[in-house]
Structure 1
């Protein structure tokens, strides 16, 4: 153990015996100028002099990254935090541009001031920041850059009920059927501009669908398309005959809604390294201690949005050695607060001090699930009719452990995990690996685009800006003008410069 400590923390030993800078591997979309994302990112894999990938952390400060404009006369603010140590020998590097690099960027990856792999990397310009309105006209080129999958099983399944989408019928029937159900937003994307009108009382969450559609149309040309998004919690369309295609953030086995990535993961992706602390990237560097050092208990903290969550507290009181559960906020079952009690808030990253994360539905699917899966704890997931867009790729027993809807076998499953530590750790590792692939920010953009593309292919009729629809304008960014690359390598001003 002492030898390992020396290997990890003595710089001279680390350089010569622990890590081979030239053998390390650096890859990812953040090294491609055309992979425009709110936060660009790439990966670094630590490799030994013998050519073996390290599987344990060599220490948080192992690598340093410097990012600067190729043209030293260009002043661009770039947020470059230290690489995130993912605890398994790999590191996740993020950076956010607050201006576009016309000539490009130089990315230096260093280990003790020695260049790593093929560093420095030259990212040839223009390298656009998030608010450049410079959409790629050829969607297949954009899909290739982001390495979008050829198909998504959930999208194929969702559209089976809708071989043809009659837009005129849709305009008539959806308001009649669903406008009294809470929050619907009627969108039309025409010539890559976003228009909308709202239906129902509770449509404030349109801010989340607005921002994603605007972000997508800044990056790629979307076919003309007209659709309705449900911005409420529950999926809407329960009919099998005469079902109408409604886009929703959550699906269920009882409904026919077409599922999009939730507003929660979408917003956190758009605001990463700026407006939010928990996002699909940051959580990967904050997964708590290694598996062997985690507390071998089930853990849950959350509000009272489903009765089974209150049952968790009862189970916790009966078997505190197996489960630590508490309700942190009361709204739905306030009459039971005195009996059950209120637990103090726990920072999300501290959840991962525990080996077993209990995932119980809220009003619908618990939107913490993707974040829990990105940790290095074992997720025990309540069986549920609700699902998010990526659940179909995951299998119980391979990526997580399923628990009965009524939680009757939860304590038994925790006991099993304690008694089968190696198998539990392997399920946790496989679940984390799957989540890292499925929940990359680039995949969210791919998914939204594929839904709109698939929908557009089935449309009958012409997408139309209705009389009461308003233009959803792109945000102004006067501090960082863009110069879009045009066909034939000519450049010209983007729309947000005119």
Structure 2
């Protein structure tokens, strides 16, 4: 009997010791689950929470979601066709006689402004000789698309600007790859040569240019798959030369807060000393695939719009786009706070934006996916080619006439070149 009582006492003591542990463990799991549910609910379903310190950004994201443009297009038009309408709206309101007077001296205009004059005659393409071109490789990139669609084009002639900056001529239409919204440039946008050839060379990383868009798409998509969102560093990233002092605040912030971002200057052609890279030695240039290890990627304009923007999206990282002035033909379809986060050129709120991103991972990860999906699904070679076709047919509708196009005496026929 004494032995039985001893066994009972041991069992009771054991149970008393065991129960608190079980209760404590259950309470911890319950509280943690509740916390996670609350966090998810706030970020995904309660975006208007006035108690959040990030409320202003969350509201902008929710507003962008409500206003999101349904990315569909007419079967007979590219998804970017709206930009064509915008570009030609100026010209539709100009006196036709004055425009035609300028077009009658189109060869002289080409020489004065050092533009390329293209002629299409009987589905053949003609222009000045190579020695008269400012940037021959840029013309080669343009001509790839022109030759692909030439069987669909009537006899016509038009001016193409291969400089980085627009021409902004009020009486004669000129095609440029980029223009400024703030200065109301009259240039008509065309897809940049760099989609095929003639892209910017970057030292030993891209010595002959960034490379064809169709190939870069695949390389960046592989980098995205190798480094998914969950494996990326939760920091901002920027590499580029000091083409403008407006980038300086980002570089200085990186030096003071490396936990927020890694932003460094590389050399450019004008580099002479560390003074040209804001007092620090220049950083190594990196391939775009290396950018994909970071969650937040900064895009700045260069002399005009940056060729880099479309590449950044394909990393599956959040694009933070600085400024809203310079555009290419596809920018109009990119929606701020839905496809990317916009930030002003003074960079006053850059630190807050980075902290917001670090503290709202689900939310900004969704923006990153939306931006990547848009570029991946729509900015494809077929749509770029279709844009060229729509652009030139609209040009012909406005400026073509019954006058027979005669080949200029010194012009050469353009033939297909080997793939770059």
Same fold (TM over 0.5): yes
Change (3 A) 1:326 1:179: farther
Q: Are residues 1:280 and 2:217 paired?
A: yes
* Alignment partners' CA distance in 2, 1:382 and 1:476: 37
* Alignment partners' CA distance in 1, 2:270 and 2:80: 40
Residue 439 of structure 1 is matched in structure 2 by 379
Residue 267 of structure 1 is matched in structure 2 by 197
Q: What's the offset of the Cα at 1:459? A: 1.8
* Alignment partners' CA distance in 2, 1:189 and 1:200: 19
Residues 358 and 381 in structure 1, CA contact (< 8 A), matched pair in contact too: yes
Residues 197 and 212 in structure 2, CA contact (< 8 A), matched pair in contact too: no
Residue aligned with 2:395, SS:
helix
Structure with the bigger percentage of strand: 1
Q: What's the offset of the Cα at 1:370? A: 0.7
Change (3 A) 1:151 1:412: closer
Residue 235 of structure 1 is matched in structure 2 by 166
Residue 189 of structure 1 is matched in structure 2 by 120
Residue 410 of structure 1 is matched in structure 2 by 350
Range moving further from structure 2, 292-301 or 194-203:
194-203
Range moving further from structure 2, 402-411 or 161-170:
161-170
Residues 185 and 203 in structure 1, CA contact (< 8 A), matched pair in contact too: no
Residue aligned with 1:455, SS:
helix
Residues 323 and 343 in structure 2, CA contact (< 8 A), matched pair in contact too: yes
Aligned residue among 384, 395, 400 for 1:455 = 395
* Alignment partners' CA distance in 2, 1:174 and 1:318: 55
Residues 235 and 262 in structure 2, CA contact (< 8 A), matched pair in contact too: yes
Higher-Rg structure is 2
Aligned residue among 198, 202, 208 for 2:134 = 202
Change (3 A) 1:424 1:463: farther
Q: What's the offset of the Cα at 1:463? A: 5.7
Q: What's the offset of the Cα at 1:412? A: 1.5
Q: What's the offset of the Cα at 1:227? A: 0.5
* Alignment partners' CA distance in 2, 1:410 and 1:174: 48
Q: What's the offset of the Cα at 1:450? A: 0.6
* Alignment partners' CA distance in 2, 1:328 and 1:151: 34
Residue 416 of structure 2 is matched in structure 1 by 475
Q: Are residues 1:251 and 2:184 paired?
A: no
Structure with the bigger percentage of helix: 2
* Alignment partners' CA distance in 2, 1:283 and 1:447: 24
Residues 380 and 400 in structure 1, CA contact (< 8 A), matched pair in contact too: yes
Residue 327 of structure 1 is matched in structure 2 by 265
Change (3 A) 1:216 1:284: farther
Residue 302 of structure 1 is matched in structure 2 by 240
Residue aligned with 2:303, SS:
coil
Q: Which runs of 5+ in 1 are unaligned?
A: 1-142, 478-498
* Alignment partners' CA distance in 2, 1:185 and 1:361: 25
* Alignment partners' CA distance in 1, 2:195 and 2:144: 13
Residue 70 of structure 2 is matched in structure 1 by none
* Alignment partners' CA distance in 1, 2:331 and 2:410: 34
User: Any idea what the Cα deviations from partners look like across 1:420-446, whole Å, max 9, x if unmatched?
Assistant: 111100111111111122211110001
Residues 403 and 409 in structure 1, CA contact (< 8 A), matched pair in contact too: yes
Cα RMSD after superposing both structures: 3.1
Residues 140 and 193 in structure 2, CA contact (< 8 A), matched pair in contact too: no
* 1:33-72 → structure 2 map (5 Å cutoff): none
Residue aligned with 1:474, SS:
coil
Change (3 A) 1:430 1:189: same
Q: What's the offset of the Cα at 1:346? A: 1.8
Aligned residue among 313, 322, 343 for 1:382 = 322
Q: What's the offset of the Cα at 1:251? A: 2.0
* Alignment partners' CA distance in 2, 1:405 and 1:329: 22
* 1:326-405 → structure 2 map (5 Å cutoff): 326-332=264-270, 334=272, 335-337=275-277, 339-405=279-345
User: Any idea what the Cα deviations from partners look like across 1:38-80, whole Å, max 9, x if unmatched?
Assistant: xxxxxxxxxxxxxxxxxxxxxxxxxxxxxxxxxxxxxxxxxxx
Q: Which runs of 5+ in 2 are unaligned?
A: 1-73, 200-207
Residues 306 and 361 in structure 1, CA contact (< 8 A), matched pair in contact too: no
Residues 313 and 340 in structure 1, CA contact (< 8 A), matched pair in contact too: no
Larger relative contact order (Cα-Cα within 8 Å, sequence gap ≥ 6): 2
Residue aligned with 1:188, SS:
strand
Residue 359 of structure 2 is matched in structure 1 by 419
Residue 47 of structure 2 is matched in structure 1 by none
User: Any idea what the Cα deviations from partners look like across 1:294-319, whole Å, max 9, x if unmatched?
Assistant: 00000011222222234332221121
Residue 212 of structure 1 is matched in structure 2 by 145
Residues 301 and 326 in structure 1, CA contact (< 8 A), matched pair in contact too: yes
User: Any idea what the Cα deviations from partners look like across 1:115-174, whole Å, max 9, x if unmatched?
Assistant: xxxxxxxxxxxxxxxxxxxxxxxxxxxx97xx7537711000001112259455224267
Question: When the two structures are superposed, what TM-score results if normalisation uses the length of structure 2?
Answer: 0.70
